[in-house]
Amino acid sequence: MLIRVENLVHIYAPGTPLARAALRGVSLEIGPGERVGIVGRTGSGKSTLVQHLAGLLEPTAGRIRLDGIVAHARTAAARAQRRRVGLAFQYPEDQIFEQTVFREVAFGPRNLGLEDTEIATRVHWALEMVGLNPAEMQERVPFSLSGGEMRRVALASILAMRPEVLILDEPTAGLDPQGRRDLLARIRAWQQETNLTLILISHNLDELARVVERVVVLGKGEVIADGPARQALSDSELLHAAGLDVPLPVALLHALQEAGWKVRTDRLLPEEAVAEIAQARGFSEKRP
């Protein structure tokens, strides 16, 4: 699916003393199969933007086109397009309401009007994708599960709708380190297996660096930067101006560069930074 954001403006509570411009004219294009990270401080407009992508809000001005069709229109065609986009809010387990895991995960597919057999297949598949054993988990009460398990159930309920575009808002928030690693690996796997378009909001640029290939930086409702992850996530000045922290490997390489080392600073992952440092050390030791 091709997503086109055209000069999107969103003002909350327009015309009142509490009016707030969350988006001031955002334009960008996301193609099928892309892995995009959206970063920015709290209040920069990230959540508002992705809610528009999912067709949950009406723009104050501008529009979003999903494969050419305006997302927020009240037509059957627009509804059909919106169904292809899945959105997981922060702490998605807050939306759980059913009495069994099966029914919770089946909620989305049921709303799509699918046959019972298809629903069961999808629920089974979605649970496996999040690392839960369907046979064990299907009949359990979601509220009796651990926080991490509830998170997985919530994500499964969105995967079960087989979205072509998957938007995740801080998917690893509140998980322990093991849980974070596991979930990120799964997200990568989902993307690879189904070639879906992945849009990830995260404050954790170190994690983002492992998953996305392109990063959009938002600041005060505008796009400050939009480019390959390697570029955007190593631009210290830009990220600091936007109120963000660079990934740790980048911070390390920058500090070494300032101390006179000849190193590249666009190595985002720990292993890349290590290789870069080792190379630079080897080089300097060769000097007579």
Binding site for another protein (CB under 8 A): 12-13, 16-18, 41-42, 51, 54, 56, 83, 85-87, 89, 92, 94-97, 107-108, 110-112, 143, 146-148, 157-158, 161, 173-174, 176-179, 203, 206, 243-245, 248-249, 251-252, 255-256, 259, 261, 270-271, 273-275, 277-278, 281
Find the shortest distance in angstroms from Cβ 243 to another protein: 6
Find the shortest distance in angstroms from Cβ 105 to another protein: 10
Comparing CB distances to another protein, the nearer of 68 and 113 is 113
Q: What share of the chain is helix, strand, coil (3-state, %, to 5)?
A: 45, 20, 35
Find the shortest distance in angstroms from Cβ 137 to another protein: 18
159 closest CA partner among 131, 201, 117:
131
52 closest CA partner among 40, 37, 34, 64:
64
Comparing CB distances to another protein, the nearer of 189 and 275 is 275
Find the shortest distance in angstroms from Cβ 288 to another protein: 20
Comparing CB distances to another protein, the nearer of 17 and 288 is 17
Find the shortest distance in angstroms from Cβ 63 to another protein: 19
The answer to whether residues 266 and 209 touch, using CB atoms and an 8 Å cutoff, is no
The helix (run of H) or strand (run of E) holding residue 5 is strand 3-12
Chain centre to alpha carbon of residue 107: 22
Comparing CB distances to another protein, the nearer of 104 and 226 is 104
165 closest CA partner among 92, 77, 65, 26:
65
The answer to whether residues 159 and 108 touch, using CB atoms and an 8 Å cutoff, is no
